[in-house]
Structure 1
Amino acid sequence: MEYGKFTPEGKDVSRFIVGTMNIIDKEDLTDDFNRLDDALNLGINVFDTAMGYGRGTTEIALGKYFESRKNRDDVFLISKCCHPSPWRTRVTTYDMESDLNDALVKMKTDHIDLYMLHRDDPSVPVADLVETLDKYYRAGKILAYGASNWSVERIQEANEYAKAHGLKGFSVSSPNYSLAQQYHDPWAPGCLSISGPENEASQKWYAQTQMPVLAYSSMARGLFSGRWSRETWKNKPEEIDPVCLKAYCGDENFTRLERCSEIAKQRGCEIPQVAIAFILDCPMNVYPIIGAANKAEMESSIGALNVKLTPAEVAYLDLKSDSI
Structure 2
Amino acid sequence: MSEGGRMKYGQITGIDKPIARIVQGTTMLDPGDIDASFALLDAIVEQGGTTFDTAQSYLDGNAERILGRWMAARRNHDRVLVITKGCHHTQDRQRVTPFDLTADLHDSLARLGVERIDLYFLHRDNPDIPVEELIGVLDAHIGAGKIGAIGASNWSIERIQEANRYAREQGMQPFVASSPNFSLADQVTAPWPSTVSISGPRAADARAWYRTTRMPIFAWSSLAHGFWSGLVRSEMRDGPVDGLDPFMLEIYGSPENFERLCRAEILAAERECSVAQIALAFILEQQCDVYAVSGSRSPGEFAENVAALDVTLSNAELDWLDLLANER
Q: TM-score, normalised by structure 2?
A: 0.95
- Which deviations, in whole Å up to 9, do the C-alpha atoms of 1:248-306 show, x marking residues without a partner? 11011011111000011111111111111111110211100011111111111111111
1:104 to 2:80 alignment: no
**1: CA distance between counterparts of 2:298 and 2:15?**
32
Residue 295 of structure 1 aligns with an amino acid whose one-letter code is P
Moved more, 8-17 or 284-293: 8-17
- Which deviations, in whole Å up to 9, do the C-alpha atoms of 1:96-139 show, x marking residues without a partner? 00000111111111110000100000000000000000000111
1:239 to 2:222 alignment: no
1:90 to 2:101 alignment: no
Secondary structure of the corresponding residue to residue 78 of structure 1: strand
**1: CA distance between counterparts of 2:8 and 2:222?**
18
Moved more, 163-172 or 63-72: 63-72
Contact in 2 for aligned 1:24/1:55 (Cα 8 Å): no
**2: CA distance between counterparts of 1:267 and 1:229?**
17
Indicate the residue corresponding to 1:201 in structure 2.
205
- Which runs of 5 or more residues in structure 1 are unaligned? none
**2: CA distance between counterparts of 1:284 and 1:232?**
32
Indicate the residue corresponding to 1:265 in structure 2.
269
**2: CA distance between counterparts of 1:139 and 1:10?**
17
Indicate the residue corresponding to 1:16 in structure 2.
22
Contact in 2 for aligned 1:113/1:144 (Cα 8 Å): yes
1:5 to 7, 11, 14: 11
**2: CA distance between counterparts of 1:85 and 1:24?**
23
2:254 to 242, 250, 262: 250
Indicate the residue corresponding to 1:71 in structure 2.
76
1:225 to 2:239 alignment: no
**1: CA distance between counterparts of 2:231 and 2:11?**
34
The offset of 1:312, in angstroms, is 1.7
The within-5 A match list for 1:118-137 is 118-137=123-142
- The structure showing larger relative contact order (alpha-carbon pairs under 8 Å, at least 6 residues apart) is 2
The offset of 1:9, in angstroms, is 5.4
Identity between Structure 1 and Structure 2 (%): 42
1:167 to 2:175 alignment: no
The offset of 1:201, in angstroms, is 1.1
Indicate the residue corresponding to 2:288 in structure 1.
284
Secondary structure of the corresponding residue to residue 113 of structure 1: strand
Indicate the residue corresponding to 1:316 in structure 2.
320
Contact in 1 for aligned 2:225/2:248 (Cα 8 Å): yes
The offset of 1:233, in angstroms, is 4.5
- Which deviations, in whole Å up to 9, do the C-alpha atoms of 1:128-178 show, x marking residues without a partner? 000000000111100000110000000000000101111011000000001
**2: CA distance between counterparts of 1:200 and 1:310?**
18
The within-5 A match list for 1:36-75 is 36-75=41-80
Cα RMSD (Å): 1.2
The offset of 1:244, in angstroms, is 1.2
Contact in 2 for aligned 1:22/1:53 (Cα 8 Å): no
The offset of 1:234, in angstroms, is 3.1
**1: CA distance between counterparts of 2:153 and 2:101?**
14
The within-5 A match list for 1:297-312 is 297-312=301-316
Secondary structure of the corresponding residue to residue 292 of structure 2: strand
- Which runs of 5 or more residues in structure 2 are unaligned? 1-6
The offset of 1:55, in angstroms, is 2.2
**2: CA distance between counterparts of 1:254 and 1:229?**
8
Indicate the residue corresponding to 2:152 in structure 1.
147
- Which deviations, in whole Å up to 9, do the C-alpha atoms of 1:178-223 show, x marking residues without a partner? 111111111x211110100101111011000101100010011111
Moved more, 60-69 or 236-245: 236-245
Indicate the residue corresponding to 2:220 in structure 1.
216
1:115 to 2:120 alignment: yes
Q: TM-score, normalised by structure 1?
A: 0.97
